[in-house]
Amino acid sequence: MLPDFGMNMISLRRNGKPVLREPESMELLQQSPYVYGIPLLFPANRTEGGQFTFEGKTYSLPLNEPERGNHIHGLLYDAPFRVTEQSLDFVRAVFENTGERYPFPFRMTISDKLSEIGLTRTLMLENTGRGDLPFTLAFHTTFVEPVCFAVPVKDRLLCNPFYIPTGEHAALAPEEQEFLTGVGSQGRRISGFYTAAAQTARIEDVCFTVSKNFDTWVLFNGGGTSGFLCVEPQCGEVNGLNTPQGHRVLHPGETKTFVISISKGNEL
């Protein structure tokens, strides 16, 4: 893992076999930081126009998706975390934001624990400011392309041509229904935003389980020819900072905890 690069875990192997997609070099990771390992997105996915209004004040984020006029994937994917505790099977690191990356102060602590069963990652977000903190967050978890996978999606969030949700939901199409029981991803374009029906996805014989405060699944595989599958647990909605129910709020001094685990499971 790379504490200085958003605490991204860029390599996780089981019996010598990569579970996560691994970059061949740091240069490659910096060029494509969202499709290797477990990138941290804060705020998650897209913010329309790179702006949002909270409690009567408008805030701006970088327009790093200029072709669609959006901010995308947040500001912490390369944040410098400080390691505070470390052993052979455990590491904890902290990032303190005073407004330089996101326009609200907070403390974020990420802890990773390895066991015989697998990996558990715990994220704690604390509002260290005097006012409320609006946020969405996600882990853009990038698996090596599986032979078969299943994700418990409920319905699709419809989007405009700029990949901003319209607020409408649609029932799963027949090909999306296959996500529930198991399907291959190679050669098949997968891209969509979905409400979560449950908290455990399966990637071949690996279980990917997330805490209940992750209420959205985002799926993406780069067109089906890139050798990876992103299964992204997300708290809040895409463009959630611009919708009343799409984001979450932390009050001063309040802390919320988010947990993901990658562990042994049953084959599909």
**Does residue 211 surpass a pLDDT of 50?**
yes
DSSP states along the chain: -BGGGTTB----EETTEESB---SSHHHHHHSTTSSS--EESS-SEEETTEEEETTEEEE----BTTTTEEES-S-TT---EEEEEETTEEEEEEEESSSSSSS-EEEEEEEEE-SSEEEEEEEEEE-SSS-EEE-EEE--EEEPPSSEE--EEEEEEE-TTS-EEEEEEPPPHHHHHHHH-B--TTS--EEEEEES-SEEEETTEEEEE-TT--EEEEE-GGGTSSEEEEEEEES-TTGGGSTTTSEEE-TT-EEEEEEEEEE----
Strand 255-264, strand 118-127: pairing: antiparallel
The whole-angstrom separation of Cα 214 and Cα 165 is 18
pLDDT digits (tens, 9 = 90+) for 11-63: 999 999 999 999 999 999 999 999 999 999 999 999 999 999 999 999 999 99
The whole-angstrom separation of Cα 143 and Cα 150 is 13
**Does residue 107 surpass a pLDDT of 50?**
yes
Whichever domain contains 142, its CATH number is 2.70.98.10
Number of domains in the chain: 1
User: What's the domain range around 54?
Assistant: 3-264
Task: Specify the pTM.
Answer: 0.96
Close Cβ partners of 196 (under 8 Å, ≥ 6 residues apart) = 152, 153, 154, 214, 215, 216, 217, 233
Close Cβ partners of 12 (under 8 Å, ≥ 6 residues apart) = 18, 19, 20, 37, 119, 262
pLDDT digits (tens, 9 = 90+) for 137-170: 999 999 999 999 999 999 999 999 999 999 999 9
